[in-house]
Amino acid sequence: MRFTDLIPGLVVRSPLRPVTAKEMIEFASRYDPQWFHVDPVRAGDGRWRGLIASGWHTCAIAMELMVQNVLSGSESFGSPGIDTIKWHHPVRPDDAVALHFEVLRSSKSPSNRTGIVLSKSELWNQNDRQVLTLQGTTLFDIATVAHKESDRKSSDRLSST
């Protein structure tokens, strides 16, 4: 989606994305090797009564779904940060999660070179249980787009003369 498509109130929903125990253990083994993320036997006896995904893995899945369903093909060039992250319920092996993305605010910088989008992203599992909420800002390079459009129009005028 382009920056101009991201108007306040826009909601994008992704298809469900499966999450496997293997994927959960591989991610956690590298980035968050706590026993309840990597040891199914010990996790079965723990507070969560089974393996759960790292919260950071859940955030990475949300990002994956945002790129696939919202940011791919856009002018996005990064983010100054996330305002809030909440993990509501754990993601478990063989869950499937879907993104619910909503544009809260969209504006341009004073220079009109950067688009700024404040959004809320939620992940919901296959049982309609919310597992994650993120609220953050994404930046878009709209000056480059305007420059390319201006170059194209100039080129069109020159070629028609």
Q: Which CATH class is domain 3-159?
A: alpha beta
Quick: pLDDT tens for 27-76: 999 999 999 999 999 999 999 999 999 999 999 999 999 999 999 999 99
Query: Which neighbouring-strand residues pair with 99?
Result: 123
Cα 148 to Cα 76, 115, 142, 144, 151, distances in angstroms? 16, 16, 10, 6, 5
Contact between residue 123 and residue 94 where contact means Cβ atoms under 8 Å apart: no
Query: Which neighbouring-strand residues pair with 108?
Result: 115
User: What average pLDDT does this structure show over 2-31?
Assistant: 98
Contact between residue 39 and residue 33 where contact means Cβ atoms under 8 Å apart: no
Contact between residue 29 and residue 38 where contact means Cβ atoms under 8 Å apart: yes
pLDDT attached to residue 148: 54
Q: Residues near 63 by Cβ (< 8 Å), separated by ≥ 6?
A: none
Predicted TM-score (pTM) of the model is: 0.88
Which of 134, 130, 137 has its CA nearest to residue 120? 134
Neighbours of 130 (CB within 10 A): 15
